[in-house]
Structure 1
């Protein structure tokens, strides 16, 4: 809380907005005000108030629109909040629109508030799948924009609110709060602060930024700020905050955030700063560099130069106001210009002085024009198809190949080349002259031949994700300085030349998810079509991050001492299971069939101790108790999925009569087709066992008669979703466990967070709880589907 909503002017407009939201006559409500005035912060206050009161809306969903709206991202944000999981699998724009529209129209009595933040122009709701004002039924819209006319075009009309800057006394109080005790008994600083605050236009964003910068500075810095800041030129305010950042690297990082603008993936920033040579003197590993970057981003957030509320380890967000100032002003002198897509067209002489260019709207014509310029000082070039800069999934490509348009002859100082979704089948010969290039990121560019990249000896980061490569040539093995190689989603890649991976001795991160998996075994016959052996990875002694598929588990038993036990980030799929867990960190997917013994390998056991997402399939002869699969215990497991594994009898088993401590961090539990599973817990378990479980999904476990004893169920206060289906022996979800397990004094079961309960196709189930029918089950919220249990096939309802 930056404190910019706790003022009379804000309390008044907040009350007016709440009243409008509660008025059935107002279907579309808008808030407008200049950049940095606090519209997004006010939205957070509205959301907080609505959630606390729990009266007006059943669901509140929010999406950011921005200057270059990504309709697919907006749809996904809304669908996620609505629990519409099927939308992510729909590939067509029309299909996504229809799914979202039907979900929002499904129940006229369900009241949904859709918040769309930061509109720059009229948004066609129909394209997204949001009902219009006349179709809205239970839906309301809350919109924000810098421009009143945009809200009028969105049919807000009589429900438009103007958020203005803070009044002078409010602005001073915010400044005073941010600088702490600096103004206490110091009339000199108070006088300067009073004059300074009046220059900041009542904008909380700028007030916080300047105050944070001055908090620990001497009086000379305060006088300097008062002299330097020009209220008619907001960029002077941003420049002053920039000048007071502690290190040159942090300043450059801020400029890069402003160059890209909006919400930025931290991994993109890592590619840029590593390409510019950050951290080289410290000789940091990739992960240490990542950690240092997180620290620098936290410093920018602390200085109020990045917005609050993001996830520093995945995405950060910079305010449009800062982005505009960074691109419009040469912060590092007249020869340090940057350009992005939001700054219009520059004359050739000015454009050629840029050290960094980021264009998210490059079609063939603009690309052709760009290549006619001489960029003698250019260090960073970032290009993308129109409207696809922030997309996670690739669009349909402009089918025209842009290879012939590319010419890097006049960019010899280039250190970072970052291109997304531009068709480049054949890399131009001129790319071979980029001897200073440290980071090359060609994301879904349909590259067919990468041999020329072997000339880029300084390269440390190489991404060819989504390429059309069929073969990784031997020339890639010449890149001995390479630290990161990303070949994800290269689904045509069938061959990696033998010896290529073995020569990349400095490689720390290797990504092959959705890509090459044709590892050759020891008995493979050498020929022109021969492939890389898994044993080559033993040469990668620095490897710390790995994404890999190994369809044939047998090749893992031909060698040992793989360096995988030291991994700190991994996604490993052994046995080609269909399950594709989407966890970003520490994922193991194992379909072992007759190769259960792989679980005994030392490197596998080390990895299992770190695994957060685990899918097991086809366990036939191994342990009967799931918790014993990792001999040292699953210390970090968050999600466990077990499928078609007849050896599993219990998930947690206390054979010695002492309370078992296991699965203390588990949040999701998925069990399917475990034909011998008798119980989830057998014997006493510690209080923290399954203590933070949120989602449980049990299917086709035919010997399972109940899920938990009453005392075990009482611990599951974090449970949000429970689904049980097609378990023919299931008689009740809970049994009292009398004489088997010690219970709590109170028989009450409270599940305050349960929002979804699905009980389907359970022919022998007669009640939710047996043996303690008097025990009340308290469910505070949620959606409940109870169907086809008991002896008839009709939906059944009973008191919980």
Structure 2
């Protein structure tokens, strides 16, 4: 008998329908009878998703800490995981709260529809979870973040002031910028008139209006033209990576192609003092529009003829301010109320007139005379009528000199030291501190604390420029020139600057000089045989990477040196040694090449040795420097050391090597590193990186440290201007309960960051009620074994009231992604948080309250009178800000954005905040 399946075409169709029907039937039966097994499979997949999500979150946090931007597809994956976790949580609640499947009391009959739906939903969710697991693995196997694009905007130190008298100049400059025929533009004018600030405004507006794709700036200056330096500055803005580091022609050709292929580019040469050899720098003379591809060059110079010599056909002059504009700016700088307090406003106007309409001087003089008496103003006017320096207008010089004369001695010396740095240099305050201590220790007895304060004074006086990085400052070229002139003329400081070629120039001031800055422009300078600088205690030798053998009687000339700073010096001789300088106390190598030297290079009686960004021998060997008190090694990578080199420094008190050190054959052996450090029995200050902390058991040296910046498995803080002296960062560290070394460092620190670490702050608090008395900044991330930060009874706090109270100095508190944390503090501890200014809690799903009130009878309101920022996000279980222990597991949670009108129910009237706490973001 022939069936339907035997009919051609139709038979295949019938077979497919039959297979699909049978498959659907068995799938449905599996949903119906195996739903519990399917739910278990789902739970297993969700656990795997959570593990994968934790790994991605940790990697994302690490990338964010490095300043990178997380890729969009990673953020989408994390959002999908969050939605999956929420959906699985709701499914679990539905499964756990399902009603008994009994229709009759005596005859249990399962509800097939409900069973079927649960089984099917479990399978679908498990399938989605599996897909997320697989895609999560793919994410971890590839890059999940990228460095943010640079904004390519100027870092102006002050807002641009649109003076009416300069609108026409700006408009003319802008028209030439957007026109096709003007390839090279120029701005010229007196020093301090505002050329650089107008250039920066042109730069910013051109980028905002997308006139150019990129802007590259190079600071030329009046020193010897350094082609390699200019090429590096241009390449840095264009993200161009040179294949050669010293071949000018090859680099110029590469820059030329970069300019041609990079679209429209504005190339800025600031502070031009001579004709610029464009062919040597960028590989093209920029003379034809066909080669420029719409790109342009903008010059700033003090002289019109220099603009013309650099092929700028129509340079634009910036003139001084009109009298009324200068007076308005002067009033803003001094303060109208202070001018009104003078018996005669005419005196203030005469002082303003002496500033010659130059914005830089108006601001500097105005700030110098703030809060001063009438007699000081009279004296200032007389000083402004004097003064002269070659290359600078006498009025300009007098104005700057007045501002310098009004400084305190420490601030004045700090400015003089800053003026010795190369033109347009980024002055690293960490280096300035060492320079101040070493070169003028008798005048700055405590440079470590004085220098940052003096930098702040000078910045507020408009004598130093503000920079975005807190450890960097800069100096305007006019201020630098006048400060140098004043420093070289003042016998109190006896500072001398000498620029020389291969022969040491004659100068009558060598014998009385105390600090000599020697700028060498040629290889192997020869020092005179019969010259002894008896008073010279400090020498700064800058060689611009020239090879030096120190021919002649170098050691005889500088026999009394106590401080020596060698910058950009290239040593070729292994036999060369500085040991004849037996009075030398501080030695600094800055950007030097000492690869060809050995340990005989270092003088035996040094007290301070600094090695910054140098090319080092591998391994680095240090002699037995028995008098060495401070060793500061600032390198990008861990330094390869000779075993025993560190431990031999028996008198060492300060050891700063932020990126750590290792050994040639045992790079990962932390035990050897700890063994070296443990022998430094006099150590009181330590900055270091450790790859792990497993071998620190029994290291007693950690208990006696007075200052430390220790990072484990992560980059450290290394904050130059921070007033915090005890800081620790722990990432992915497994800590034993008996590990008292880490506990000692954590409980005494002023700044603590723990990430994916099982350090239990609560147990530290319980074992030592005086712990965290100095803590000011605390960040906890991805710590999943922490239920709370601290719980101390009111009685215990009262007992310690006469001492320092735990967390009483806490200013910033950040908690992120701690899955098991239920609250932060008990109420008795929260009452001590009077200094708290920032509180951020994010993604802690188990947190029910912020502050747990263990005493229901305690109705005292907690006053956070200094809190400025309150940020609570993704706290899905949060019921109240402050609540009793018995109430923590009751109540409901509103998972919506909380508006200001809803604040009161959350806070229950148990806390109060300052009226200035306006930046509250609460998402629960």
- Normalised by the length of structure 1, the TM-score is 0.64
More helix by share: 2
Shift of 1:306: 1.6
Alpha carbons 1:306, 1:318 under 8 Å: kept: yes
User: Aligned equivalents of 1:613 and 1:113: distance in 2?
Assistant: 43
What does residue 436 of structure 2 align with?
Answer: 273
What does residue 256 of structure 1 align with?
Answer: 417
SS of residue paired to 1:495? coil
Alpha carbons 1:294, 1:312 under 8 Å: kept: no
Q: 1:48 to 1:514 in 2, by over 3 A?
A: same
Q: 1:195 to 1:371 in 2, by over 3 A?
A: farther
Equivalent residue for 2:200, pick from 40, 44, 55:
44
SS of residue paired to 2:185? strand
Alpha carbons 2:516, 2:538 under 8 Å: kept: yes
SS of residue paired to 1:408? helix
Matches within 5 A, 1:489-568: 493-497=641-645, 499-501=647-649, 503-510=650-657, 513=660, 516=663, 533-536=675-678, 539=681, 541-543=683-685, 545-548=686-689, 555-556=695-696, 559=699, 562=702, 568=708
Please say if 1:416 is aligned against 2:563: yes
Shift of 1:419: 0.5
Equivalent residue for 2:299, pick from 138, 143, 157:
143
Equivalent residue for 1:112, pick from 251, 265, 272:
265
User: Aligned equivalents of 1:205 and 1:154: distance in 2?
Assistant: 27
What does residue 542 of structure 2 align with?
Answer: 384
Matches within 5 A, 1:403-442: 403-405=550-552, 407-424=554-571, 425=573, 431-435=579-583, 437-441=585-589
Q: 1:116 to 1:223 in 2, by over 3 A?
A: same
What does residue 319 of structure 2 align with?
Answer: 164
Shift of 1:235: 3.9
User: Aligned equivalents of 1:313 and 1:384: distance in 2?
Assistant: 25
User: Aligned equivalents of 1:742 and 1:627: distance in 2?
Assistant: 24
What does residue 775 of structure 2 align with?
Answer: none
SS of residue paired to 1:402? coil
Shift of 1:184: 4.3
Shift of 1:275: 0.9
Per-residue Cα deviation, 1:198-245 (whole angstroms, up to 9, x for no partner): 333322222222222122222222222222222653444433222211
SS of residue paired to 2:497? strand
User: Aligned equivalents of 1:614 and 1:127: distance in 2?
Assistant: 51
What does residue 374 of structure 1 align with?
Answer: 532
User: Aligned equivalents of 1:615 and 1:360: distance in 2?
Assistant: 47
User: Aligned equivalents of 1:42 and 1:320: distance in 2?
Assistant: 16
Alpha carbons 1:443, 1:467 under 8 Å: kept: no
What does residue 241 of structure 2 align with?
Answer: 87
What does residue 361 of structure 1 align with?
Answer: 520
Q: 1:65 to 1:280 in 2, by over 3 A?
A: closer
Please say if 1:26 is aligned against 2:189: no
What does residue 228 of structure 1 align with?
Answer: 383
Shift of 1:78: 4.7
Shift of 1:92: 6.0
Alpha carbons 1:492, 1:515 under 8 Å: kept: yes
Alpha carbons 1:468, 1:490 under 8 Å: kept: no
User: Aligned equivalents of 2:435 and 2:707: distance in 1?
Assistant: 24
User: Aligned equivalents of 2:684 and 2:786: distance in 1?
Assistant: 25
SS of residue paired to 2:177? helix
Please say if 1:472 is aligned against 2:614: no
User: Aligned equivalents of 1:655 and 1:75: distance in 2?
Assistant: 54
User: Aligned equivalents of 1:265 and 1:473: distance in 2?
Assistant: 26
Per-residue Cα deviation, 1:63-84 (whole angstroms, up to 9, x for no partner): 43333455555555555555x3
Alpha carbons 1:31, 1:144 under 8 Å: kept: yes
User: Aligned equivalents of 1:273 and 1:106: distance in 2?
Assistant: 47
Alpha carbons 1:499, 1:532 under 8 Å: kept: no
Shift of 1:374: 2.8
Q: 1:250 to 1:630 in 2, by over 3 A?
A: farther
Instruction: Figure out how many residues of one structure are paired with residues of the other and give that number.
Output: 625
Per-residue Cα deviation, 1:755-784 (whole angstroms, up to 9, x for no partner): xxxxxxxxxxxxxxxxxxxxxxxxxxxxxx
Matches within 5 A, 1:649-660: 652=817, 654=819
What does residue 320 of structure 1 align with?
Answer: 477
Q: 1:72 to 1:311 in 2, by over 3 A?
A: farther
Please say if 1:241 is aligned against 2:403: yes
Q: 1:134 to 1:429 in 2, by over 3 A?
A: same
Between structure 1 and structure 2, the one with the greater Rg is 2
User: Aligned equivalents of 1:442 and 1:602: distance in 2?
Assistant: 38
Q: 1:532 to 1:107 in 2, by over 3 A?
A: closer
User: Aligned equivalents of 1:584 and 1:205: distance in 2?
Assistant: 30
Alpha carbons 1:113, 1:142 under 8 Å: kept: yes
Please say if 1:198 is aligned against 2:198: no
Q: 1:320 to 1:260 in 2, by over 3 A?
A: same
User: Aligned equivalents of 1:486 and 1:627: distance in 2?
Assistant: 33
Please say if 1:460 is aligned against 2:622: no
User: Aligned equivalents of 1:2 and 1:521: distance in 2?
Assistant: 48
Alpha carbons 2:526, 2:551 under 8 Å: kept: no
What does residue 598 of structure 2 align with?
Answer: 449
SS of residue paired to 2:345? helix
Shift of 1:431: 4.7
Alpha carbons 1:432, 1:455 under 8 Å: kept: no
Q: 1:54 to 1:611 in 2, by over 3 A?
A: farther
Greater displacement, 118-127 / 219-228: 118-127
User: Aligned equivalents of 2:528 and 2:786: distance in 1?
Assistant: 56
What does residue 191 of structure 2 align with?
Answer: 35
Q: 1:404 to 1:61 in 2, by over 3 A?
A: closer
Gaps of 5+ in 1: 389-397, 525-529, 575-579, 618-624, 640-650, 667-679, 687-710, 713-739, 747-800
Q: 1:610 to 1:14 in 2, by over 3 A?
A: farther
Alpha carbons 2:519, 2:541 under 8 Å: kept: yes
Matches within 5 A, 1:334-353: 336-341=494-499, 347-353=506-512
What does residue 213 of structure 1 align with?
Answer: 368
What does residue 274 of structure 2 align with?
Answer: 121
Per-residue Cα deviation, 1:251-293 (whole angstroms, up to 9, x for no partner): 11111112224322222211211114559997x6xxxx54532
User: Aligned equivalents of 1:631 and 1:407: distance in 2?
Assistant: 66
Q: 1:26 to 1:627 in 2, by over 3 A?
A: farther
Shift of 1:299: 0.7
Q: 1:372 to 1:613 in 2, by over 3 A?
A: farther
Please say if 1:175 is aligned against 2:330: yes
User: Aligned equivalents of 1:56 and 1:66: distance in 2?
Assistant: 27
User: Aligned equivalents of 1:334 and 1:534: distance in 2?
Assistant: 44
Q: 1:294 to 1:420 in 2, by over 3 A?
A: same
Greater displacement, 9-18 / 41-50: 41-50
SS of residue paired to 1:338? strand
Alpha carbons 1:535, 1:562 under 8 Å: kept: no
- Normalised by the length of structure 2, the TM-score is 0.56
SS of residue paired to 2:520? coil
SS of residue paired to 1:260? coil
SS of residue paired to 1:135? helix
Shift of 1:589: 9.8
Alpha carbons 1:335, 1:353 under 8 Å: kept: no
Alpha carbons 1:118, 1:145 under 8 Å: kept: yes
